[in-house]
Amino acid sequence: MSSPTVSYMADLYRLMARHEHAHLDEGQHATADPLDAIMWIHIFLMMFTFGILFPVGLVLGLTRNRWHVPVQTLGGILTIVGIILGHSHKGRQFESNNIHAKFSSWILIAAFAQVIFGIYLKLHLTRGILGRIRSVIVKIHYTIAIILPIFSWIQICFGVIVIQDFCHADHLGQCLAHGIMGSSFIAYGYILTIMLYFGDRALSNRNKSQEFYDSLIITLWGIVNTFTEHRWGQNWSHGDYQHTSMGIIWWCAGMVGIALSKNWKTGEPKRTFIPALVLIFTGWAMSEHAQHLMISTKVHAFFGYALMGAGFCRIIEISFLLKDKPSDSKSIKAFQYLPPFLLVESGICFCGANEEQLALLNEIGIDHSSYLLVLSSCAFLIFFLILCLIILYVKLAQDGDTATNSPSFGEGYSNSWKVVPSSDPNANIEMDSLFDSEASNSNTITGNNENHSSSMPLTSAPVRNDSNVVLDYDYDDDVESLRNIN
């Protein structure tokens, strides 16, 4: 790394280290001052960068789009600006070791590692030890890219609770429960939406149904909840009984779901209603939870209704709309979007049902209906972002396949080839896309669907091989390096 870059990173670290915090009394975690304009800019800038820009950059990278690097570079610049703003604000001050500040260090390390790995991959160092570890770096780069949006969501949630001075002392347990469970339902809705577009072929290749994986996660989560919701050695509380019993029904029902997710006579995957039924039981139980405040009772009830609605809609989708058949990504029904949206809705409502937040709203005088409309608006925005990212991926993947004259993801050959002119006008170089390395050992590529069921012979043009050349997703750069092979 160049010395100016090291110097700049050191200056940035010193800026963060010398940021002064107001004196706080013992037990106080933030001052009562209002947020100033700089802090508001920091909030919206970082939410845009980590909530929108970086996920878009991830999609661009997955589709090997030329805008991937510029978008991620812009995100990195905005991140630096946001950090500076976050350590330059006046108004409300916070304790220096708050969870938002601590977790930001891990995110910055991950983001910095992504930059280093990205530069390394762009340099196309293919000789010696650097060439041999390239495939490992590609996997690490991809893994961090997937993890960063999850980290970003966690960091945004940490920012909310630090600003509001929530989740301390006795409130920490319920705060974690609402945040983790609510985020899990949002993630479940995200996954179901992704599966609508790409799940049919993925599940078919693994000979599993969607409900097998749902039931497996439900079983594991139920086991964890059964033994962690109560602090062993202490007296059982009302909440301990509620959450432990919920964990028990999850793993009991989950095992039934695993058993029913397969036709044991034929070995074929089978749809089942069990995961949806678990959602219904969970929603009903949560809607019946007794709360100290009326607004809390109403919000929890609405969360339960939304979760039950997701379960009922899922049963209708599986049993009546699809008639126990797998979903077809080419003909997604409008009704199929309702279960994942209701999962996102229920997740947002549960995240927002924090007892300190509801006590604050009750003190201000905001009723449950107004608050639930705001939470529902957030759910619509998050679901809109989910759809935008998926649609962007689909569009870019189709455009890329059209440009290279290869089938789109999930609709054709598991491997595609690109013919590249070399420096020798009488020879061509065939380039594997690396989607299926096994196909490089065969002489034909066979289609996986009815439109491409015949075998397609490879071109008879000469193929150049060089053990020091590593082909990855950066076609244009790899092509240039291949042209220079002697």
Nearest residue to 279 (alpha-carbon basis) of 313, 255, 245: 313
Buried b / exposed e along 114-142 (16+ C-beta atoms within 10 A): beebbebbeebebeeeeeeebeebbeebe
Tokens at residue 355, please?
């007892």
Strands 455-457 and 428-432: unpaired
* pTM score of the predicted model: 0.79
Are 180 and 150 in contact by the 8 Å Cβ rule? The answer is no
Contacts with 267 (C-beta within 8 Å, 6 or more apart), sequence order = 207
SS3 326: coil
Neighbours of 209 (CB within 10 A): 25
Contacts with 361 (C-beta within 8 Å, 6 or more apart), sequence order = 295, 371
Please report the pLDDT score of residue 371 as a whole number: 96
Please report the pLDDT score of residue 402 as a whole number: 57
Each as own residue / partner, the long-range contacts of residues 198-205 (CB below 8 Å, 24 or more positions apart, any chain) are 198/329, 198/409, 198/410, 199/327, 199/329, 200/326, 200/327, 200/328, 200/329, 200/410, 201/329, 201/410, 201/411, 201/448, 202/410, 203/269, 203/326, 204/326
Q: Does the CA dihedral 166-170-171-172 come out positive or negative?
A: positive
Are 107 and 152 in contact by the 8 Å Cβ rule? The answer is yes
The rounded distance, in Å, linking the Cα atoms of 206 and 68 is 31
The rounded distance, in Å, linking the Cα atoms of 148 and 155 is 10
Are 129 and 159 in contact by the 8 Å Cβ rule? The answer is no
Please report the pLDDT score of residue 485 as a whole number: 46
Per-residue pLDDT of the chain (486 residues; tens, 9 = 90+): 445 554 545 555 554 544 555 566 666 778 888 999 999 999 999 999 999 999 999 999 999 899 999 999 999 999 999 999 998 889 888 888 899 999 998 998 998 898 888 888 888 887 878 778 888 898 999 899 989 999 999 999 999 999 988 998 888 888 988 999 999 999 999 999 999 999 999 999 999 999 999 999 999 999 998 888 777 777 887 777 888 899 999 999 999 999 999 999 999 999 999 999 999 999 999 888 878 899 999 999 999 999 999 999 999 999 999 999 999 999 999 999 999 999 999 999 999 999 999 999 999 999 999 999 999 999 999 999 999 999 999 999 988 665 554 444 444 333 333 444 444 444 444 333 333 444 444 444 444 444 444 444 444 444 444 444 444 444 455 444 444 444
Tokens at residue 285, please?
């139980």
Tokens at residue 385, please?
């972002």
Nearest residue to 18 (alpha-carbon basis) of 111, 69, 64, 84: 84
Please report the pLDDT score of residue 228 as a whole number: 82
Tokens at residue 480, please?
């240039």
Please report the pLDDT score of residue 7 as a whole number: 53
Question: Domain limits of the chain?
Answer: 28-165, 183-399, 417-483
Please report the pLDDT score of residue 230 as a whole number: 72
Tokens at residue 350, please?
């549960």
| Helix, strand, coil percentages for the chain (3-state, nearest 5) | 65, 5, 30
